[in-house]
């Protein structure tokens, strides 16, 4: 994991920018027809019920197919014209559903669509629990994952990553911070909610051991598969804090209850590191194809335009690297 001290400046910039800013390629061999399809016209346009979602349709419509990259696609993808993305579509602003309850949206969804536009293929979504994403890749249920998943050495033993963003762990609390949570040391004696299989869960377990070792009050951990459930528990006082990545904390604090329910603790992101698009280790052609498409979007400015529209440019990177997480 990357040390906090190495990312203090970046994390502070992320908070400021985010708060200001919010006003060969494989195919799913299982033939799963339950996946939801995302395209620029159906899931980019904002309306009165989705006012927090920026309209990036013009940006996406302006992306031209890279014929050279398209020619490198495996025959199976050329025939299908699509790949299936496994995602946990309950983690705004990265991945969420529009008000219709069936159309994926989010900053990662926009980026995935941009990659698809560059490659000339559709990106079909499959909603999964976060802890099943890696096994979904290994089993071939999905072709790639985009779910704000940290690229770590432990996960690299099972899957490969193309890194596309930098983020860390933050604390989301009730408005007014009634438990006066200020930093990691003040987590002892609190009730914490996290998503199962996440880096936040691993961090919370580490903090629980530290509390025990130091003889401090017990850290009570709740692990669920639903961020909505975690928010409900926080709102009702059944938990004191939710551990989230920075984009999610900023978005939830601003939008939940019109910004009246939650706030983010003013503390630098913890264990900040790269988020990665996941791939089966056997799918190096898929991985390399997406990596090159992503790098092209970074080079021509499309990548930055998309993240700026979400107010998340503070964590943007310049190189689409492979397996750089620690």
Contact 138, 29 (CB under 8 A): no
Alpha helices in the chain (DSSP H): 8-21, 40-43, 57-61, 67-71, 75-80, 107-119, 133-139, 153-156, 199-213, 227-236, 246-255, 284-299, 302-309
Secondary structure percentages of the chain, helix, strand, coil, to 5: 40, 20, 35
Q: Which two tokens stand for residue 84?
A: 């299936």
Instruction: Give per-residue pLDDT as tens, 137-156.
Output: 999 999 999 999 999 999 99
Percent over 70 (pLDDT), the chain: 85
DSSP assignment of 225-264 equals S-HHHHHHHHHHTS-SEEEEEHHHHHHHHHHGGGGTSEEE
Read off the pLDDT of residues 78-130 as tens digits, 9 standing for 90 and up.
Answer: 889 999 999 999 888 999 999 999 999 999 999 999 999 999 999 999 999 99
CA angle centred on 324, ends 250 and 131, rounded to 5°:
60
Residue 119: which of 81, 146, 161, 84 has the closest Cα?
A: 81
Q: What is the mean pLDDT of residues 161-175?
A: 95
Q: What is the pLDDT of residue 74?
A: 79
Confidence at 22, pLDDT banded by 50, 70, 90: very low
Q: Is the pTM higher than 0.85?
A: no
- What is the structure's pLDDT at 90? 86
Average pLDDT over residues 222-244: 94
95/86 Cα distance (integer angstroms): 11
């Amino acid at each position: 994991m990357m040390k906090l001290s190495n990312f203090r400046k970046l994390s502070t910039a992320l908070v400021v920018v985010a708060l200001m800013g919010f006003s060969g390629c494989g195919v799913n061999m299982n033939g799963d027809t339950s996946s939801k399809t995302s395209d620029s016209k159906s899931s980019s346009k904002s309306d009165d019920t989705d006012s927090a979602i920026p309209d990036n349709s013009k940006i996406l419509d302006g992306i031209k197919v890279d014929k050279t990259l398209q020619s490198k696609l495996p025959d199976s993808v050329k025939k299908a014209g699509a790949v299936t993305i496994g995602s946990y579509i309950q983690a705004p602003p990265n991945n969420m559903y529009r008000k219709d309850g069936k159309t994926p949206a989010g900053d990662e969804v926009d980026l995935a669509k941009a990659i698809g536009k560059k490659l000339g293929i559709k990106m079909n979504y499959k909603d999964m629990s976060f802890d099943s994403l890696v096994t979904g890749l290994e089993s071939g249920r999905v072709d790639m994952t985009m779910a704000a998943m940290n690229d770590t050495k432990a996960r690299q033993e099972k899957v490969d990553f193309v890194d596309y963003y930098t983020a860390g762990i933050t604390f989301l609390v009730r408005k007014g911070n009634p438990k006066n949570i200020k930093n990691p040391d003040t987590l002892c004696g609190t009730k914490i909610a996290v998503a199962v299989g996440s880096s936040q869960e691993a961090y919370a377990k580490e903090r629980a051991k530290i509390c025990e070792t130091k003889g401090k009050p017990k850290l009570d951990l709740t692990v669920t598969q639903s961020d909505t459930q975690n928010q409900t528990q926080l709102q009702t006082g059944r938990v004191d804090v939710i551990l989230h990545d920075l984009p999610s904390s900023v978005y939830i604090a601003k939008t939940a209850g019109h910004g009246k329910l939650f706030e983010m603790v003013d503390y630098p992101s913890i264990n900040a590191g790269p988020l990665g698009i996941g791939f089966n280790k056997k799918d190096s052609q898929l991985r390399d194809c997406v990596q090159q498409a992503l790098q092209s979007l970074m080079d021509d400015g499309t990548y930055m335009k998309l993240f700026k529209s979400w107010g998340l440019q503070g964590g943007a990177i310049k190189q689409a690297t492979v397996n750089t997480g620690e």
